[in-house]
Structure 1
Amino acid sequence: MKTHQGSCHCGACRFEVDLDLDHVRSCNCSIGRRRAALIHRVPKEALRMLTPLENLSVYEWHTKTARDYFCPSCGILPFRIPSQPTADEIRAGKLPFEGWAINVLCLANVDLAGIPVVRINGADLR
């Protein structure tokens, strides 16, 4: 486990997170394609805000269970709360995730070479 320092582009949003960076996720859903973030999920307690969460803007859509936090100054998304499973996904055995999805591209001194990218087919989720 390593502690990483993170921020948005302008530095108005700062945080630190404990994680083992063994993979990142790339999603092809409507917002994931446009945002192009590389995500790694962590438990709630692994993320520590150095900037108050209230200083960030929030974007919610569709089921309103996901929350994308972004800097109101530079527009960068450093982290998000992932959406909860749909009824069909729960019936299929998918469990809810209680934690944060970190945009690894916002972490300082991370070499992405050699880190596997898991492709998430969010475009097919309804």
Structure 2
Amino acid sequence: MSEKEHTGSCHCGEIQFKIITDFAEITTCDCSICRRKNALMVKVHESKFTLIQGKNFFSEYQFHTHTAHHYFCSKCGIYPFHRKRVTPDYYGINVFCLAEFDPEGIPIRATIGAGMK
């Protein structure tokens, strides 16, 4: 798949963003927060992520090493993306927040976050 621009948002639309990606793969994670939010994520470099609006609606959550930054909408509660722990210059984007996106046919890789120290 070639790189394309995709737009996304939280449920209420207060947070809106766009990304550019080729969807080489999407990932799951078994860490304590990812298990609970059950998102499928695509990894996008910060240079291919643009926040269109909504920074004032960010609610941020950090845990364990306080390296990753998990963002939620303070109005609707949806998790649209996070700054990654191991690669902080990348975002993990919740693909279910992308407009008109179907993950069918894209390889899914399970990452092991529960054992990270």
TM-score by length of 1: 0.86
Deviation for aligned residue 1:111: 1.3
**Equivalence for 1:117:** 108
Of Structure 1 and Structure 2, the greater strand share is in 2
Secondary structure, counterpart of 1:123 in structure 2: coil
Flag structure 2 segments of 5+ consecutive residues without an equivalent. none
Does 2:46 correspond to 1:55?
Answer: no
Bigger radius of gyration, 1 or 2? 1
**Which amino acid counterpart does residue 57 of structure 1 have in structure 2?**
S
Give me the CA root mean square deviation: 1.2
**Equivalence for 1:29:** 31
1:22-101 aligned at under 5 Å gives the runs: 22-84=24-86, 96-101=87-92
Whether the aligned pair in 1 keeps the contact of 2:43 and 2:92 (CA below 8 Å) is: yes
Distance in 2 (CA, whole Å) between partners of 1:15 and 1:43 is: 14
Deviation for aligned residue 1:97: 4.6
Moved over 2 A (4+): 52-55
TM-score by length of 2: 0.92
**Equivalence for 1:87:** none
Distance in 1 (CA, whole Å) between partners of 2:110 and 2:72 is: 23
Q: Percent identity?
A: 39
**Which amino acid counterpart does residue 115 of structure 2 have in structure 1?**
D
Deviation for aligned residue 1:22: 2.2
Of Structure 1 and Structure 2, the greater helix share is in 1
Distance in 1 (CA, whole Å) between partners of 2:24 and 2:84 is: 19
**Equivalence for 1:7:** 9
Secondary structure, counterpart of 2:79 in structure 1: coil
Distance in 2 (CA, whole Å) between partners of 1:40 and 1:75 is: 20
Flag structure 1 segments of 5+ consecutive residues without an equivalent. 85-95
Deviation for aligned residue 1:10: 0.9
Deviation for aligned residue 1:112: 1.3
Distance in 2 (CA, whole Å) between partners of 1:43 and 1:114 is: 22
Deviation for aligned residue 1:55: 2.7
Q: Deviations over 1:19-77 (max 9, x none)?
A: 11121100011111001111111111111111142431100111110000110011111
